[in-house]
Amino acid sequence: MAMKTEHELHKRRFSRNMGVGLLLVGFVVIIFGLTVVKVKQLGAIQGFDHVVRPELIAPQEGEADK
């Protein structure tokens, strides 16, 4: 038996399936674009992790004089 049988329903529903498929692809593109824009508008983000970030270390006593 063929794995894929062409049913008459597939033909009748082709325009709907195609339309819904394209809409979903479009939606993904839009959400992705929106996300990129929104994240960029947040300003500079420090993307590194697991490395020493000197500005986060609280100044030690007496260090401020240096």
Partner 1 sequence: MTDATIIDAEYEAQFGDYFALLKPRVMSLVVFTAFVGLMVAPVQVHPIIGFCAVLFIAVGAGASGALNMWWDADIDAVMSRTARRPIPAGKVSAQDALSLGLALSGFSVVMLGLATNLLAAGLLAFTIFFYAVVYSMWLKRSTPQNIVIGGAAGAFPPAIGWVAATGSVSLEAVLMFALIFMWTPPHFWALALFLRKDYNNAGVPMLTVTHGRKVTRQHILVYTLLLAPLAVWLGFTQIGGPVYLTVAVLANGWFVKGAYDIWRRDENMAEADKYRTEKSFFQFSLLYLFLHFLALLADASLRAVGFL
Binding site for partner 1 (CB under 8 A): 12-13, 15-16, 18-20, 30, 33-34, 36-38, 41
In whole angstroms, what is the distance from residue 30 CA to residue 35 CA? 8
- Least spacing, CB of residue 40 vs partner 1, in Å: 9
- Least spacing, CB of residue 19 vs partner 1, in Å: 3
Exposure string of 34-52, with b = 16+ CB inside 10 Å and e = fewer, is eeeeeeeeeeeeeeeeeee
- Least spacing, CB of residue 34 vs partner 1, in Å: 6
